[in-house]
Structure 1
Amino acid sequence: MFNRVLADFAREFQLSRNKRVLLVLDQAGWHISHQLKLPEGLDLFYLPAHSPELQPAERLWPLTNEVVANHTPRSLSELEELLVLRCQKLLKQHDLVKGLTCYHWWPMTRAV
């Protein structure tokens, strides 16, 4: 499945030998699999193990998982619909997301 995601990503952004992307990943099993097929134009950089502070989005997983914790979607479409609705709600909860992902050392940007 991850190979398919990488291929779709490369196709969507028209990656090639002359147009490259460096994708930063954790070391989840599917990210480091020996069966991984890397599309042309896509390079991977792995974060050190046990370093969630380098990947602030890791702290958001419990918020997205919450919607399916006590619900068993019958299809991939139903799962996607549940997650999209949850993410739309999270987009409105700036303080909650900021509190989980903005570390004291993280550079702050001004809102435009």
Structure 2
Amino acid sequence: MSRSFAERDYAYLLDAAHQQLGAPIVLVWDNLNTHISAAMQSYIAARDWLTVYRLPAYAPELNPAEGIWANLRNGLGNLAVTGLDALNAIIKTRLKRMQYRPDLITGFFNETGLPFELA
């Protein structure tokens, strides 16, 4: 059984990422209860290197991952696979193909209308 991240888990992850990257971090978060809790608000306020933007309660049009998943699912509805391993292989292959198409990834960001620049 898997468990979800608690505030402490996010704190450890973000602190480790900041230490590893040595740079500020910008997050775009949804309204998951652990993202908006009082404990998380205190954690965020105590870190001047962390900037958090919150998505509205339901805003798939502002989330570039929605375009990625829609592209990934295209054609899977009519696909017959022999098992989960075969489906997993197809998904990995499709994600790998997307990885080598930066124009496609940039397009998913552009669809949101949010500013996007490559570092």
* Partner secondary structure for residue 35 of structure 2: strand
Q: Does the residue aligned with 2:78 lie in a helix, a strand or coil?
A: coil
Unaligned segments of structure 2, at least 5 residues = 15-26, 37-53
TM-score by length of 1: 0.54
**Equivalent position amino acid for 2:85 in 1:** S
Cα pair 1:47 1:54 within 8 Å, conserved: yes
2:55 is equivalent to residue 44 of structure 1: no
Equivalents in 2 of 1:72, 1:89: separation in Å?
21
Tell me the equivalent position of 1:108.
117
Q: What is residue 66 of structure 2 aligned with on the other side?
A: 58
Deviations 1:27-66 (A, max 9, x none): xxxx78xxxxxxxxxx235842442243111122221102
Report which of the two structures shows the higher radius of gyration computed on alpha carbons: 2
Matches within 5 A, 1:1-112: 4=2, 7=3, 10=5, 15=9, 19=12, 24-25=29-30, 43-45=34-36, 47-102=55-110, 103-110=112-119
Q: Which ranges of structure 1 fall in alignment gaps of 5 or more residues?
A: 33-42
Structure 2-normalised TM-score?
0.52
Instruction: Mark the CA change 1:97 to 1:23 in structure 2 (over 3 Å): closer, same or farther.
Output: closer
Pair 1:44–1:104, CA change in 2 (3 A)? closer
Which protein is richer in helix relative to its size? 2
- Equivalent pairs counted in the alignment come to 87
Q: Which amino acid aligns with 2:91?
A: L
Residue 38 (structure 1) aligns with: none
1:67–1:83 CA contact under 8 A, matched in 2:
no
